């Protein structure tokens, strides 16, 4: 029993040492924007899609409900642009 406890304790210590030894937070950093795009242009595209009423379409798509091809394309475009916007860290700039 003592031996098992010692092995478990050693494993925990080594595991914590491995976590503490990292040089960063594991964050890969901002992704580059697509060529010709800026944070402002992506934000403008998102705003235009929202003004056209894409929000319920995005929610329906994520819930797995059926959408018309046009509505599905709008929702997928919004998600793609939002991923680019967030990936480039535009929301923290």
Residue 10 has pLDDT above 60, yes or no: no
Tokens of 61: 């798509």
Interior angle at CA 39, CA 34 and CA 41, nearest 5: 80
The pTM of this model reads: 0.68
Over residues 11-19, mean pLDDT = 50
Mean predicted confidence (pLDDT) in 17-44 = 77
Rounded distance between C-alpha atoms, residue 37 and residue 85, angstroms: 10
Q: Establish how many alpha carbons lie within 13 A of residue 50's alpha carbon, considering only the half-sphere containing its beta carbon.
A: 8
Count of beta carbons in the 10 Å neighbourhood of residue 52:
11
Which residues, at least 6 apart from 76, have a Cβ–Cβ distance to it below 8 Å? 61
12 vs 69, more confident = 69
């Amino acid at each position: 029993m003592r031996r098992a406890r010692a092995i478990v304790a050693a494993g925990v210590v080594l595991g914590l040492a491995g976590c503490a030894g990292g040089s960063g937070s594991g964050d890969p950093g901002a992704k580059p924007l697509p060529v010709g795009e800026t944070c402002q242009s992506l934000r403008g595209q998102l705003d235009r899609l929202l003004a056209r009423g894409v929000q319920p379409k995005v929610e329906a798509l994520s819930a797995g409900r059926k959408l018309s091809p046009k509505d599905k394309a709008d929702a997928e475009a919004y998600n793609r642009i939002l991923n680019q916007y967030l990936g480039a860290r535009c929301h923290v700039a």
